[in-house]
Amino acid sequence: MPAGKTRTTDSSPPTQRVISIVELLAAQPTPLTSAEIADSLELNRSTAGAILAALTERGWVRRLPDLTYRLGPALAALGVRVADSRGDRAWLNEELERLAENVDCGAALTAIDGEYLEFVAVTRDRLTVGIKSGARIPLLAPAGAGMIAHCGPGRQQDWLETRGPERRDEYREVLSTLRATGYCAWRLEPDSLPTARVLSDVADHLAEHPAGKDLRGRVLAQLATIVGSAYDQATLDQDIQLPLSYVSAPVFDGSGHAVMELQIGPLRMDVTRPERRRYLAELSAAARRIGDGIERKHHARP
């Protein structure tokens, strides 16, 4: 029987069973099977399996190829936000400012919080003036794709269904691209820039008026949808100039969980292949630094 046993019985409230499973996995140095979890907690095996399935769908635990379970990316992301609440945001802001300076455009770091996307850190840029750290918008595809790509199939399908069927195949390919390459780049549509500027100005104005909080949230949600279609790898690799709106990449913690997404917004119509490669190199390097920083903060915390 694995160490770290937390006893529960069939008469325990359902919430206690969930907590006990999470606590048990957190206490173990190695993943556990569903049967080991059920036996350790004296749970009915079908009950344990149902709880694990629900936790897996929401990213609280991860099911491995050998059918064992460990804690998932959603819990790791919670740890990042706890560190934020303790005043540990400065190093994230510094990393984001460094990235923005290197690529000469705005940058943002986001995390998923349930059915919302939260801006953990944002640099002030001409098209991000209305978005501040801590802002939350509904999690609607394609937002959060860098993290969703590494969630379970059920979570991915829920995300795809936040939009109409006409673009689901495209967004499904976006998830595949992110898993295969580690990033995704989006076209810039010429007529989207004026709309983005107006919405950003409106959001910035509403930030100074508490009564407009709900309206500002809707404006930010609309602003997040102004992206073109995603590039496939073959097109992005061509030695031609391409219009580029945003490029995003997941940020992984030390356990391989995609806990955040890092984005840059060149918002240019004429990005050359060498420039695209430089953007990708800087974005990837910054994502690794942030991931390493999360791991250091985690191990340094008493």
Q: Mind listing the domains of the chain with CATH numbers?
A: 14-71 (1.10.10.10), 75-300 (3.30.450.40)
Mean pLDDT of 175-199: 86
For the stretch 128-150, pLDDT in tens is 656 778 888 889 999 999 999 99
Cα distances (Å, whole numbers) of residue 221 to 64, 116, 172, 206: 34, 10, 21, 14
Q: Greater confidence, 226 or 254?
A: 254
- Residue 37 burial class via C-beta count within 10 angstroms: exposed 0-12, middle 13-18, buried 19 and up: buried
Peptide bond into 153 cis (omega under 30): no
**Which pLDDT band, with edges at 50, 70 and 90, does 10 fall under?**
very low
- Helix, strand, coil percentages (3-state) for the chain, rounded to 5, are 50, 15, 30
For the stretch 53-92, pLDDT in tens is 999 887 788 888 888 998 887 776 666 655 555 556 788 8
Say whether pLDDT at 42 is over 80.
yes
What value does the CA radius of gyration of the chain take, rounded to a whole number of Å?
Answer: 21
Least confident window among 173-177, 223-227, 251-255: 223-227
Alpha-helix runs per DSSP H in the chain: 14-27, 34-41, 45-57, 73-85, 90-103, 145-148, 153-160, 168-181, 192-206, 213-224, 233-236, 273-300
Mean pLDDT of 24-33: 86
**Which pLDDT band, with edges at 50, 70 and 90, does 102 fall under?**
very high
pLDDT at 39: 92
Residues whose CB is less than 8 angstroms from the CB of residue 121 and which lie 6 or more positions away in sequence, other chains included: 89, 92, 93, 96, 108, 109, 133
